[in-house]
Amino acid sequence: MTDSHPYLDLSEDILAARNDRKPIVALESTIISHGMPYPKNVETALEVEATVRKHGGVPATIAILNGRLKAGLSVEEIEQLGRAGTAITKVSRRDIPFVVARRHHGATTVAATMFIAHKAGIKVFGTGGIGGVHRDAPTTMDISADLPELAQTDVAVVSAGAKSILDLSLTLEYLETHGVPVIGYRTSEFPAFFTRQSGLEVNYRLDSPDAIAAAMRAKWEMGLSGGLLVANPIPEAAALDKKWIDVVIDQAISEAAGRGITGKEITPFLLSRIEHLSKGKSLEANIQLVLNNVVLATKIAKAYQQLLAE
């Protein structure tokens, strides 16, 4: 069904959840079309949605279908995205008007998912890892659109830090400069996606969803626009050995440089190569950290909704 926004469609589940003031968790679709092979991508997307429901939330997988911004997809629509895979356009903020105008399909990145979630009135988004400042950024200026989106869009993003293919130190510097608070959930150290440690500190450690929800409300009620990044470490049982995965990542980055791969194609290439070089271990770790993040995102959404009801 169509919401008041002329380009936005909300599913019946999302409309009902908004009317009943139930906690809603936004979910991205790039991980479906560009993050994993079929049918693992569809299985994972449905498992992620089921995990949100199990913990008392309503999942809102976000994408663009036939030029319509969609919050809340059917099983058939998720299957459609998964089967088409990389034939679906990977959509960041800059791409949205062109995909909409041409009435095409689009799989939304963190930035585009945040934008659509905000338009749909959804305040919490659970994902794997955000994009950030690439390691060669001092010469290429390759900085993910996820970062400026966090600086301007009022959505709390729960992730296992930034993808470890990036320059994590520069990523945190960018977020600090643009006023984006980085919250460590039960940790003072910024997680590095596949591993729990990076050697870098977060801005604030908060140990409960209630504390995070209180910070969200205070920030936005004071008129401090922009998002919050909640860094939730990968579960210990799923974490990869840091020295080993760093070697794998370095090899994948070297291969990308040798092939001249840049721009929005580099992240899917690197993740695919890392999966191959790690013999699938990185993919399984990725799935586990996403599930872990959406559990926390659901708890935060519930706590935030309770605060608004007081």
Q: Is 270 helix (H, G, I), strand (E, B) or coil?
A: helix
Cis omega (within 30 of 0) for bond into 39 = yes
Q: Is 222 helix (H, G, I), strand (E, B) or coil?
A: coil
CA distance 206 to 185: 5
Catalytic residue set = 28, 163
Closest CA to 30 of 43, 38, 40, 41: 41
35 touches 289 (CB < 8 A): no
CA distance 115 to 154: 9
**Cβ-based burial of 6 (10 A; exposed 0-12, middle 13-18, buried ≥19):** exposed
Q: Is 160 helix (H, G, I), strand (E, B) or coil?
A: coil
Structure-token pair, residue 244: 């080993």
Longest dimension (CA), the chain: 57
**Cβ-based burial of 205 (10 A; exposed 0-12, middle 13-18, buried ≥19):** middle
287 touches 31 (CB < 8 A): no
